[in-house]
Amino acid sequence: MIPSHAIADAALERAQEQVRLSLSGRAPRPVVRGFFDEPTHTATFVVHDPESREAAVIDSVLDFDSASGTVSYAAADRVIDYVRLENLTVTWILETHVHADHLSAAPYLQGKLGGRLAIGRGIVEVQETFGKLFNAGTAFARTGAEFDRLFEDGDRFTLGGVAATILHVPGHTPADLAYVIGDAAFVGDTLFMPDYGTARADFPGGDARQLFRSIRRLLSLPDPTRLFLCHDYKAPGRDSFVTETDVAAQRAGNVHVRDGTAEDDFVEMRKARDRTLNAPRLIMPSIQVNMRGGRLPEPEANGTRYLKIPLTTDRG
Ligand SMILES: [Fe+2]
């Protein structure tokens, strides 16, 4: 039976078929290991094909103490240790989007583990917006050249015998991607746990209506599709961090977008809620670094790297 909310498009249909093959055992199910970074509430995932041991790392974290300006590598090193212990070959280092709440460790991981660095083609729009905000000058090309690959909706890759399909899921930012790998979908900042809801849609280029449509598209994947989330904040009454759920649980119980939620009601709720949210603690450092693919700004003449904070005033 075709569910009433079904959305038909070629990329989605391919992802649905890929998930079904993986769930049925006719294609391998990937192994997923999550690493939760408590200071930023971010989940990094390592996903691999159990046969070939080819792997991808998704949404890595670079530790950053903003008071002292200190960058450190403990979170990234935990991922590296796991990859080496499991004898994995990293072929992709993936970002779901330009994060505003943590710095990416992608270039550090690439230096240690290899692999190609990828993000959505919409990065170019995000670079344009934030290149202007930070007055980055012409040295910052805004072409996505910091990445080895810019994915579009429907693009595919493989991890050994495991197929992967890219879905463009704008709304939180214009560039957000979901990586559907075997029966596992890495949905970035679209959905959070069913008891917590959805991601904010008020960043530049964000759009609550687009977010709703992107989420309904993700929830058109088969019910048992594993969903891996970029963040968890614990919902009231829940004691532990959880970053894995499935389509069935989201459709039945997501507090913002379960089956039956009307698009207009979601948009109204999301906009009202976003008006109450503060800027993320690390937004200024995160965006300056992540718009460059996780590279720190070039050192100044004295050899030191600096981050900028554009100032605004309430006096107009
Ligand atoms: Fe985000």
Residues 6+ apart with CB under 8 A from 86: 48, 53
At 303, the amino acid letter reads G
94 CA distance to ligand 1 middle (Å) = 14
pTM for this prediction: 0.95
250 CA distance to ligand 1 middle (Å) = 19
154 CA distance to ligand 1 middle (Å) = 22
- Token digits of residue 222: 């088969």
285 CA distance to ligand 1 middle (Å) = 14
Looking at the chain, which runs of residues are DSSP E strands?
31-37, 42-48, 54-58, 63-65, 70-72, 89-94, 116-120, 149-151, 156-159, 162-168, 177-181, 184-186, 226-228, 244-246
SS (H, E, C) 134-169: CCCCCCCCCCCCCCCEEECCCCEEEECCEEEEEEEC
Cα gap 168→177, rounded to integer Å: 5
7 CA distance to ligand 1 middle (Å) = 25
DSSP type of residue 183: T
User: Taking each helix axis from N to C terminus, what angle separates 123-133 and 283-290, rounded to the nearest 10 degrees?
Assistant: 120
The tens place of each residue's pLDDT in the chain, 316 residues long, gives 445 445 669 999 999 999 999 999 999 999 999 999 999 999 999 999 999 999 999 999 999 999 999 999 999 999 999 999 999 999 999 999 999 999 999 999 999 999 999 999 999 999 999 999 999 988 899 999 999 999 999 999 999 999 999 999 999 999 999 999 999 999 999 999 999 999 999 999 999 999 999 999 999 999 999 999 999 999 999 999 999 999 999 999 999 999 999 999 999 999 999 999 999 999 999 999 999 999 999 999 999 999 999 999 988 6
99 CA distance to ligand 1 middle (Å) = 4
Find out whether 250 and 192 touch, Cβ atoms under 8 Å.
no
Which of 192, 159, 176 shows the shortest CA–CA distance to 167? 176
25 CA distance to ligand 1 middle (Å) = 33
C-alpha distances (whole Å) from 46 to each of 31, 86, 91, 121, 302 are 8, 11, 11, 22, 38
